[in-house]
Amino acid sequence: MINFELVTLNGTKFSEEVYEVILPTPDGEIAILPHHIPLVSIAAPGVIGVRKRSGDSDDKIEYFATNGGVIEVQENRVRVLVDEADHADEINEQEARNALQRAEQLHRSAKGKIELDEAKSLMDRHAIRLKVASLRRRHHKQNI
């Protein structure tokens, strides 16, 4: 088992013994399993997946939307430091969809590089949140 800790600016978001952690990196997703080699990496904006037990199916994976941060893997410990993280259960899919549409409108009406960059960042954030909400909905339907 792995001691996985997801830490945000507001404190510890998740801290449990788990079997697998799937992390977004600039080079793509990586899966951390017990006895993984030591690693320090950037966490790219994206979806973090957590499989609590080795026999758990994909529909039991817990998901978090993050905006990137830092990953540290040492022995059987994984620590991810991020500004913020939203658990799938905390995300309202319709609100995320509406926020993404507003961010897209900001992007279209942006005047200058700073406004474009800010709008793009908002679009990325809400697209990730929408993806996590969609994953939760899809897995919830499979369990009904």
Q: Where are the domains of the chain?
A: 2-88, 92-142
DSSP string, 17-73: EESEEEEEETTEEEEE-TTPPPEEEEEEEEEEEEE-STT--GGG-EEEEEEEEEEEE
Give 141's pLDDT tier (boundaries 50, 70, 90).
low
Please tell me whether the overall predicted TM-score, pTM, comes out greater than 0.85 for this model. yes
Residue 143's pLDDT is 54
Pick the CATH number of 2-88 from 1.10.760.10, 3.30.70.260, 3.40.640.10, 2.60.15.10: 2.60.15.10
The model's pLDDT over 27-83, given as tens digits with 9 standing for 90+, comes to 999 999 999 999 999 999 999 999 999 999 888 999 999 998 999 999 899 999 999
- pLDDT over 70 for what percent of the chain? 96
* pLDDT of the residue at 95: 93
Cβ(136)–Cβ(91) under 8 Å?
yes
- Residue 2: what pLDDT? 96
Whether 144 has a pLDDT exceeding 50, the answer reads no
Q: Which two tokens stand for residue 42?
A: 């950037």
CA distance readout (Å), 131 to 1, 22, 66, 86: 27, 15, 11, 12
State the pLDDT confidence band at 142, using cuts at 50, 70 and 90: low
